[in-house]
Structure 1
Amino acid sequence: MPSPKEKQNQKIDFWTLYEKFKFKVIRHFLLTTIWTIISVFLLLIIDNFISEDAKITNDNYSSLLPEVLQGHFSSLTKENFVLLGVVLVFFYAIFFYFSNLWEEELRVQGGHYVKNQLLDKFRQLPFEEKEKRNKEINILVEFDSGEIGYTWEHLPNHVYHSLLTIILLISMRWEKFSKMDSKGIFFSCFWLLLINIVSFFFTRLVLRNEKKHKKELTKEWAVINKETEKANLIEGMGLTPQYRDKQRKASQKNEKLLLSFNRTKSLNKTIPIYWLAEMFPYLLLFIVGKFSKTKRNLLSMWWIFENFQEIFKCFWEYGEYASSLSRVNYFLSLSEKDDNLQGKILPEKVTIKTINFEKVSFKYQSSSEWILENYTHSFTKGEINHLFGENGIGKSTILYLILGLVKPHKGQIIIVDSQGESYNLHTDINLKYWRETNTAYCSHDNLITEGSTGQRQLANLSQLFATKTQADIFLLDEADNALDQEKKKEFENNLENLARNKLVIYVKH
């Protein structure tokens, strides 16, 4: 198992995913190798079938087979030749079917793996970083993980299949290729090099444009998410027109950006394949003057060019893939919170007696002003510890500090247990276990989705008291502000009973 530091620095790329799905990747590449070899055999049989060189004597059709197979089938009747062809086609179809089936499996599993890595990383971000990145993670999970999942194994496998086809064709037809006119050989090599150079140039442009597009798309989705999450509030405040205009401006900017890239994208798809590659046989005829030996290799050469075209298509896809990979890896490289996982876990029988703030100062990264400065206070068990005051004076921040979600810039928070032992909360205690076991937190905002605001708060409080019975510290941040008077009175009575045996901090506006 990797250490937390290794896990934090882990990047997503082909080799990361290969290690995760090694057996399935090897299985898929093996299957690709088999059906590629069969496809080359079938092509060469067709090539020999239509070639003038192919001569059938004494009803022996073995001369139509590739030379590598002729040694195994020295004598072949027409019926046997047909049967062999049908068998080859059958196995080609079977292997091709399972190859596509397993490729789709790798796409799905690879995409979900990346998605889970992103969400795990988001869960490990510090409090303020999490607040800042909560819109970005939606786009990364929704779009980029899917792009990586679709492409990560497909691209190398597709390039491998195309290169293997080219190598097999050249090796099996080398004797016939060597008899081509020198002009034909030189022109073929030159034209392949030209297609590669042009494709590389356009791929670089597309990759640069994709990075710009993804950056602007993030901004647009941030605007959309904010409006959809707070739709009723925005409508109630009469701000719908302003948010609509803001979204339209972001959308129009993104649309113009995409349209400005459209010409480059279309040229990238047109020039290497539908112009340079498709023009090849006609220019070859013009260069050599007559086909002669070149004619006999035209089908094989055409197939070689087709596979080069497939490689160029992979270059196009690589642009979007690399852009998504860059964004995902940047997110995965963000610093994680330090929950002091090697810290002390308080014994179950030991209860918390006091929480002492000693000259604690804290400010958020987005602010230049201290929200708490030299704050000193003791919260004790046996009574309700009230925190009153206006918004923005640090009441919720005090709870965040106790939960270990944020840490003081100055000062310290000391926990005193029932046995008189003292601990520095942020340096001595395992904060993850502390939040999950020792504390119970309830806010005016909650995760319940059904019912009115008051009904959701009441259900949230009931759930808290039912599931967090083992907690010693109860932190309530305006958790009852939507309850009616009768329910509030009942809640406060329950809170007084709870405070006899627990340390309770009650924030109220």
Structure 2
Amino acid sequence: MIEVNNISFKYAGGKNLVFDDFSLELKQDNIYGLLGKNGTGKSTLLYLIAGLLRPKKGTVSFDGIETKLRRPETLQDIFIVPEEFDLPAMSLDEYVKINRPFYPLFSTTVLEGCLKDFELTTDLKLNALSMGQKKKVFMAFALATNTRVLLMDEPTNGLDIPSKSQFRKVVTQYMTGDRTLIISTHQVHDVESLLDHILILSPQKLLLNASVADIQEKFTFEYRTPAEMDDVLYAEPSLQGNAVIAPRKEDSAETQVNLELLFNAVNEGKI
């Protein structure tokens, strides 16, 4: 559904390429976690997919149409929630009235449900909200658009602990099966229970492109004592013992992916 083909990109005045001959295919009905150290191009990739940036070489396409063309029929099916944004000095009702006509599948029911889960009302003045409230309102609107592609850059930054739980609830409830969500984040523990697929970027290339199911099939994530380390691929000390990644044995139960541990192991070349 989304095809990134052999793209090269660098910012004006930048010395180094952010991407060089980079390719990626993203399929429908997945929630992707896009991870990487600072400066590896996570936000840039989202903006390229949304058509807000244009590759110097190569193509970024959605359903066969290059996103850089910014055709209305493409843009009405892609919505991006950037890490930082401003909302206009108007009421939420006014904002919805102005913007909803562009999105043919917009759902007032979804908007009201998200706001309720976020413990917010519809009679809001957007310029009177805290940053955390603005983020929740904008994410509620994003989910209500029902676009087939939803991009979120650091969505849990600025949210308190209860709000992060609310975020997971609304995503689980309102991301229908025919949509694709890409979450770029450093806050891996906030989203690891949501993800179907993991992408880990390093400068100009992908270090990991794997489904959560495949990762769980190949590896086990657990805590072990120093005497149980023979087959360990990667380990970090913790209060509970050594947090480890090891090959999964045929008769062993599936374990939940420890995304922070996986990220560190991949970046150190252990997996």
- TM-score normalised according to structure 2 size: 0.49
Task: Work out which of the two has the higher radius of gyration on C-alpha atoms and give 1 or 2.
Answer: 1
Q: Which structure has greater helix proportion?
A: 1
Looking at secondary structure, tell me which structure has more strand per residue: 2
